[in-house]
A and B are shown apart, each in its own frame.
Chain A
Amino acid sequence: MSDARATLPTGANPLAASADAMVTVTTKKRARSTKAMIDRYKWYEVAALYAGMAVFLFFVLAPFIEGFSVSLKPLSQLFSTPYNFIPQNGSFDAYFQMWQSVPMLGMHIFNSFFISSVVTLIVVIIVVPAAYAFARFQFAGSGLMLGGFLAVNMFSGAVLLIPLFRLMRQLGLLNTYWAMIVPGAAFLIPSSIWLLRTYMLRIPRELDEAARVDGASRLYTLRRVILPLAMPGIVVVAIMTFIGAYAQQFIFALTFNSRTEFMPLPVGLFAFFGKQEVQWNELMAASFVGILPVMIVIVFLQRYLVAGLTAGAVKQ
């Protein structure tokens, strides 16, 4: 390469040019080799890394593996004593039978989705203007309110269950969808506001001011300037809310609702316990059908998820 450079006619001083090229080449080479060397592992290090990863992932995934193996076994084999990890003459029967043994199962899965979707919708509608307000305006008590939201986030639903129960009874919301939607949304709003506010703070204020100079109203600015720019943040908030609502709908549903047709999946699964012997294989099969959509979501939205999980935890 230095030869090629040296023969170029344009160079006033070919020697110096070639020396220059030499220097850049060597530094480049060194930079590359440094990077490679620092990330290069000896074979036993690689082996140790994969072994550690295997142990770690086994801990994380063991219940799913076990659950899947259970869902393939017929009940008779499930309750036989020498334990067999690999199902013999396993079949997908449980995935078909479960719809008969718990007729409301489809309804439960639908409820889970319905509740989570409504919660997500409510949260996004409330959170977008709120986060905008917190990100842009300094009003009396804004800091206090933000702190308050964070503090609310720290109390679990279980602590506030009794007051909530009385509230729901007074409002006449017990045994309706709203009894599960309202507290679910209420508990997810604070962290969502924090998340989206952090995101909106990163949008330069100059854009607002430019829109204002052009005569745009506040709402118009929010709709036409901020919303499009904040879209990735809003998507993260929506995903996190949906997953949160999907994952956490146990305690409220258990306490505030006793009507079978309104039960979400996690509570509805208890129906499998009502039989003379627990239909474990069908229970597991139903669980897998229930979590399958969420699993697909994480595979596709993995990038957003990592951002959401970490930003949600930093809070500042």
Chain B
Amino acid sequence: MLSFTNAALRPTYDFVGWANYQRIFGAGNFTEVILRTFIWTFFSVATKMIIGTLGATLLNAAIPGQTLFRILTMPPRIVPMAIGIFMWGWMYNGQFGMISGLLQNFGIISKPWPILAQGNSAFWATIVTDVWIGVPMVTIYLLAAMQSIPKDLYEAAWTDGAGRFYRFRRITLPLMMPAMLTMSLLSLIATFNSFDIIWILTRGGPSGSTTTMIIDTYKTAIGSRKYGEGAARAVVICIFVSIFCLVYFRAVRKLSQGEAK
């Protein structure tokens, strides 16, 4: 409702119809922000899924130390997000941080590399941090899915002489598809809504290169106190998330029907 008003700090406000929407879409940078959000989300979710699948496969292998490795996977999910992000912020530091420092020690780069100060690398750096926070969840969930696959299938395939990779490709992957689909949709929604990471690392900078829709909304509404316009931006986000939700519900229903058969 607020999105149709020009609410600000003043106690009263008027209805202004679609003016807020006209303004945000007319400004030109909003479509750019939407596009950037989608690219950011896509790469983040894809990386999470790939690393998560590999991680789950490793954690599923019967090697000594399994339980310890499983516990060690969880910290990023457990510690307060902000604290994890502070640590990443220090690692990205160009002068004294770990990444730039180690790369210099090994002679890969010659000058300090201020990762968060350059638009391009800042964009990728925020993705890496988001992946880091999302990976434990994806890994543990996929691990559970992997363990629910009946052992007989593997034994039957093994008896028929199927190799490890063949078994992984023909048994594990197809049977994990539903879980992977669910997980990627859930992490898609979480990533799309992610705020803390970008806000703490870059505040949407440098020069807007990491401003996603959520950051944009926050800046407009809380930063510049334009509640009406901010609400309009929030409504656009809600529409996108609703679409994702619909896809998710549709997928879940389809899968549960498939299981019933």
Contact = CB atoms under 8 A, between A and B. Distances in A.
Interface in B131-175: 132, 135-137, 140-141, 144, 154-155, 158-159, 164
Contact of B80 (A45, A250, A302, A306): A250
A56 B55 contact: yes
B90 interface: yes
A241 interface: no
Interface in B42-88: 51, 54-55, 58-59, 61-63, 67, 69-84, 86-88
A242 B125 CA distance: 29
Interface string A41-84: 10001100110110011011111101100100000001111111
A110 to B, nearest CB: 15
Contacts of B105: 82-83, 85
B102 interface: yes
B146 to A, nearest CB: 11
Interface of B: 2, 51, 54-55, 58-59, 61-63, 67, 69-84, 86-88, 90-91, 95-98, 100-102, 104-105, 112, 132, 135-137, 140-141, 144, 154-155, 158-159, 164, 182-183, 186, 189-190, 193-196, 199-200, 214, 217-218, 221-222, 227, 230-231, 234, 237-238, 241-242, 244-245, 248-249, 252, 256
B196 A298 contact: no
A301 B187 CA distance: 25
Contacts of B190: 156
A158 B71 CA distance: 30
A25 interface: no
Contacts of A306: 70, 140, 144
Nearest to A46: B63
Contact of A66 (B70, B87, B218, B237): B87
B82 A266 contact: yes
A298 B112 CA distance: 37
B193 A60 contact: no
Contacts of B248: 154
Contacts of B217: 158-159, 161-162
B80 A246 contact: yes
A34 interface: yes
B87 A64 contact: yes
Nearest to A53: B58
A287 B140 CA distance: 25
A305 B132 CA distance: 19
Given A52-B54, A159-B214, A161-B221, A269 B82 contact: yes
A98 to B, nearest CB: 14
B158 A34 contact: yes
B11 to A, nearest CB: 10
A78 B96 contact: yes
19 contacts: A63-B132, A67-B90, A79-B96, A83-B102, A83-B104, A85-B102, A156-B190, A158-B193, A158-B195, A159-B237, A162-B234, A266-B82, A269-B86, A291-B80, A291-B83, A294-B80, A298-B78, A310-B141, A313-B137
A241 B101 CA distance: 38
Given A249-B80, A287-B86, A291-B83, A161 B222 contact: yes
A81 B75 contact: no
B198 to A, nearest CB: 11
A302 B76 contact: no
A290 B83 contact: yes
Contacts of B70: 302, 306
A299 B71 contact: yes
B75 A52 contact: no
- Which 3 residue pairs of A and B lie closest in terms of their CB atoms, listed nearest first? A83-B101, A156-B193, A266-B82
A156 B195 contact: yes
A53 B158 CA distance: 25
Given A57-B73, A63-B84, 20 more contacts: A34-B159, A49-B61, A62-B91, A63-B91, A63-B132, A64-B75, A154-B241, A156-B195, A158-B214, A162-B234, A163-B2, A247-B81, A249-B80, A250-B196, A251-B199, A255-B222, A267-B82, A269-B82, A291-B80, A302-B70
Contacts of A243: 78
B249 to A, nearest CB: 8
B90 A280 contact: yes
Nearest to A69: B98
Contacts of B54: 52, 56
B139 to A, nearest CB: 8
A79 to B, nearest CB: 6
Given A159-B238, A309-B137, A61 B75 contact: yes
A78 to B, nearest CB: 6
A271 B92 CA distance: 20
Contacts of A302: 67, 70-71, 74
Nearest to A42: B164
A262 to B, nearest CB: 16
A166 B227 contact: yes
Nearest to A314: B182
A97 B231 CA distance: 44
A81 to B, nearest CB: 7
Contact of B87 (A63, A151, A290, A310): A63
A156 B51 CA distance: 24
A79 B95 contact: yes
Contact of B158 (A38, A156, A265): A38
